[in-house]
Structure 1
Amino acid sequence: MAAGKFEASKYTGVRFRCHKTRRHGVQPDKYYVIRYKVNGRLREEGLGWASQGWSPAKAHKIRSEVVANIKLGVGPQSLENFRAIKAEKERAKFVEQQARKTFSEAGEIYIEEYARNNKKSWKHDRTRFRMHLLPVLGKIALDDLTFQHIEDLKVTVAGKGLAKATVGQCLALTRQICNYSIQRGWLNGANPVKGVKFPRLNNRRLRYFSVEEEIAFFKLAAERGYTDCHDICLLSLYTGMRMGEIFALTRQDIDLVENRIIIKGEAGADDGPKSGVSRVAYITEKIRPMLAARIPELKSMEALLFPKPSGEARREIGQNFKTLIKHLGWNDGVSDRRLRFCAHCFRHTFASRLVAKCVPLPVVQKMMGHATIQTTMRYTHTHDDQCRNAAQLLL
């Protein structure tokens, strides 16, 4: 057999030629063509090399389909038609795959186009999405998401030792992204988070402190010269303000004439306090001297009341607070986070004392800046003496 010349195969209309030097296995590489007639005229079309997957049998199958289609007048009637149809199918498949967004793509769009413009907590969403959701769900196409995928996410996040609240927040964010995808037409069918059981939370903080503990804490803070820590905690205890709200206070928010503090937001927040509604805290004699002493030191109306030594806004109360609590030993041997003393306990004690003084819960709710009365009830306690007095009413 001469290399480079076409030879007939055992299949009708299928020919091949051998490459002069290139081998396919132990045999020379072979190039296949098919021949057939169209309107009495002979047509020859090249298929490809054996090294590309072609064989006489495969070539014969293609030729038989072309010949049959020519006789019937339907379908692809040449190899060129076959290739054009295949190319169109591949293009359509590519377009379909492009339209089938992955959870990663949908989540990024949700964060940047929806959450950023509609949620004050969008930065927290972005962090949870990238740290916890992406590693588990990121590469999965939205339409392929199942109940089991969401269960896997729940187990993975919980396995990191994170709080139940964080697990629930990750599930809620997943649900929000899927709902958004349904609205945008990216996800067909029901939300895969539907039916997934969220962790049951018990966030009711049980630790608040007595007058004796209050005296001990502020005395120690004064003795150690922890002035900022002392004043921040004092302000939280007697206004109920969150730490983030205190860190965001500026000179213009303090009105010593009307004895009011305007709470506009938290340090690092985009706008507004946590509940989304600005509120007022009231200056009492417990905190007025401290505020009156600090204000003259501020150089402008926009100056922060409690900046870091660098002048930047604080993000946490700092090491001095931890040192005080460690010295007092209030958290020694306490493993239940609800019973551990933290900076939030000042705010919690504020609410508890108001309730103990029979202040109506709607008033406490407004002073605390809670969106619902249920949240307020988590921060309050019913004291034994109140229960005892209530029982006496039945006598």
Structure 2
Amino acid sequence: MREKLSDKLVRSIAPPIDAANITCWDTEVTGLGVCVTKGGARSFVLRYRIHSRERRLTIGSYPDWSLVAAREQAKATKRQVDLGCDPLAEREELRAAPTVAELAERYLKEHVSRKSRRTQIDQTGMLRNRVLPLIGRMKVADVRHSDIDALHRRLSEETPIQANRIAACLRKMFNLAIRWEYRVGNPVDGLLFNPENPRSRYLSQEEIQRLVSLLSGHPNQRCANIIRLLLLTGARKGEAMNATWDQFDLANGVWIKPSAHTKQRREHRIPLSQAAVALLQQIKASQVPSCRFVFPGDTREGPLTEMNGFWRRLREKANIPDVTIHDLRHTYASILVSSGLSLPIIGALLGHTQAQTTARYAHLADHPLREATERVSAVVSSF
């Protein structure tokens, strides 16, 4: 059906009875037509050919689009086609472009899945609970710096430190989006992070004594032994809880942490003190020979996965309510520094790959250095 379209004609075309829709083609602008569905809905369409293919593009619904506006849009679109562009393909490509939610799922599956279990839990929670409800439906290519800045500001009102962690996560995710050709440029670049003061909580000798004395008579010796091992080795909680016996050479006093269990994803070999070896030998002697895990869960088929309640109650009894389990690692490092060991040696024991990570403990070396200067002063002053 071909006829010069008019507003009166567009309104008067009867809906089809037997077909799903009917189209009346305009004789003034070639390819422009009005499509009427069985339900009576009307919309302007444009038919064109490009690359030996016939294409049909919907311009818009009537009367939201007037006939005059539809004709102007049809002419403009045809000029694009003459220049080699395919407007329908561009629209389909935009519709198929990944959303932030889809990017996040790929990021979690292909990148985060190779990280430690703790990292997987943290980043999955941050993305699904804090980020996706706000920008998950946005197209990856449409996310601007202002969107990330607004997100970061909103999150910072409640949890400024976590807002920084989320921003760091998004920076990595959008870097991968660039590699995967989802977009150009990282919208997180230039973001002003919230200031952070790193924790500097170290247990005093008196606090260590109170803590260790409580471990001796505690009914839960499995968790008590984890705390003992953390104090003796400076290991991270996850490294200790997931440890298996094949990681230990007790005869030579060595713990070889596999890359899958370390934060840096690198194998970390550390010597064990006599006290640490004795503790591990005692634990091993109390287990059945077939047990793989140093600290097995209740079913013995996997490692112990939860001890937060144990630690919370223990620190309350020890009167150190502000101390986290990770502060035991800081305490281990502080003892090493105060003993006069160099930062590179301490970094090697802790498994640090960057010197600045260990440098946070540098100020703790003041005491032994002050003692050394006092010795010189005593000699000089004696004359």
Same fold at TM > 0.5: yes
Deviations 1:137-160 (A, max 9, x none): 21112332222211121123223x
The answer as to whether partners of 2:298 and 2:304 remain within 8 angstroms in 1 is: no
Query: What's the counterpart of residue 143 of structure 1?
Result: 141
Deviations 1:308-355 (A, max 9, x none): 333342234342332221122222xxxxxxxx2122222221111111
The answer as to whether partners of 2:340 and 2:368 remain within 8 angstroms in 1 is: no
Query: What's the counterpart of residue 72 of structure 1?
Result: none
Given the alignment of the two structures, is residue 111 of structure 1 paired with residue 105 of structure 2, yes or no?
A: no
Match of 1:310 among 283, 299, 313: 299
Flag the structure with more relative contact order, 1 or 2, with Cα contacts below 8 A and sequence separation at least 6. 1
CA RMSD of the aligned region, Å?
A: 4.2
2 CA distance for matches of 1:289 and 1:142?
55
Q: 1:299 and 1:379, CA in 2 relative to 1: closer, same or farther beyond 3 A?
A: farther
1 CA distance for matches of 2:359 and 2:168?
23
Q: 1:35 and 1:367, CA in 2 relative to 1: closer, same or farther beyond 3 A?
A: closer
Query: What's the counterpart of residue 372 of structure 1?
Result: 354
TM-score for the superposition, normalised by structure 1: 0.70
Amino acid at match of 1:152: A
Amino acid at match of 1:250: T
Amino acid at match of 1:299: V
Which of the two has higher C-alpha Rg?
A: 1
Secondary structure in 1 aligned to 2:196?
coil
Superposition deviation, residue 131 in structure 1: 2.0
Superposition deviation, residue 379 in structure 1: 4.5
Query: What's the counterpart of residue 232 of structure 1?
Result: 226
2 CA distance for matches of 1:305 and 1:281?
17
* Structure 2 gap segments, 5+ residues each: 15-21, 44-61
2 CA distance for matches of 1:276 and 1:218?
31
Given the alignment of the two structures, is residue 96 of structure 1 paired with residue 93 of structure 2, yes or no?
A: yes
Query: What's the counterpart of residue 241 of structure 2?
Result: 247
* Structure 1 gap segments, 5+ residues each: 1-8, 20-30, 38-44, 70-74, 77-83, 266-270, 332-339
Given the alignment of the two structures, is residue 386 of structure 1 paired with residue 368 of structure 2, yes or no?
A: yes
Query: What's the counterpart of residue 51 of structure 2?
Result: none
Secondary structure in 2 aligned to 1:197?
coil
Amino acid at match of 1:280: R
Match of 2:286 among 277, 281, 297: 297
Amino acid at match of 1:183: R
The answer as to whether partners of 1:111 and 1:126 remain within 8 angstroms in 2 is: yes
TM-score for the superposition, normalised by structure 2: 0.72
Superposition deviation, residue 293 in structure 1: 1.9
1 CA distance for matches of 2:198 and 2:10?
79
Alignment size in residue pairs: 335
Matches within 5 A, 1:311-330: 311=300, 312-330=302-320
Amino acid at match of 1:370: H
Superposition deviation, residue 365 in structure 1: 0.5
Superposition deviation, residue 261 in structure 1: 2.3
2 CA distance for matches of 1:177 and 1:61?
42
The answer as to whether partners of 2:256 and 2:268 remain within 8 angstroms in 1 is: yes
Given the alignment of the two structures, is residue 203 of structure 1 paired with residue 198 of structure 2, yes or no?
A: yes
The answer as to whether partners of 2:101 and 2:132 remain within 8 angstroms in 1 is: yes
Q: 1:254 and 1:94, CA in 2 relative to 1: closer, same or farther beyond 3 A?
A: same
2 CA distance for matches of 1:183 and 1:163?
29
1 CA distance for matches of 2:127 and 2:142?
19
Q: 1:219 and 1:280, CA in 2 relative to 1: closer, same or farther beyond 3 A?
A: same
Q: 1:15 and 1:232, CA in 2 relative to 1: closer, same or farther beyond 3 A?
A: closer
Superposition deviation, residue 228 in structure 1: 2.2
Amino acid at match of 2:127: F
Given the alignment of the two structures, is residue 362 of structure 1 paired with residue 344 of structure 2, yes or no?
A: yes
Query: What's the counterpart of residue 178 of structure 1?
Result: 174
1 CA distance for matches of 2:325 and 2:249?
25
The answer as to whether partners of 1:262 and 1:281 remain within 8 angstroms in 2 is: yes
**Percent of matched pairs sharing the same residue:** 22
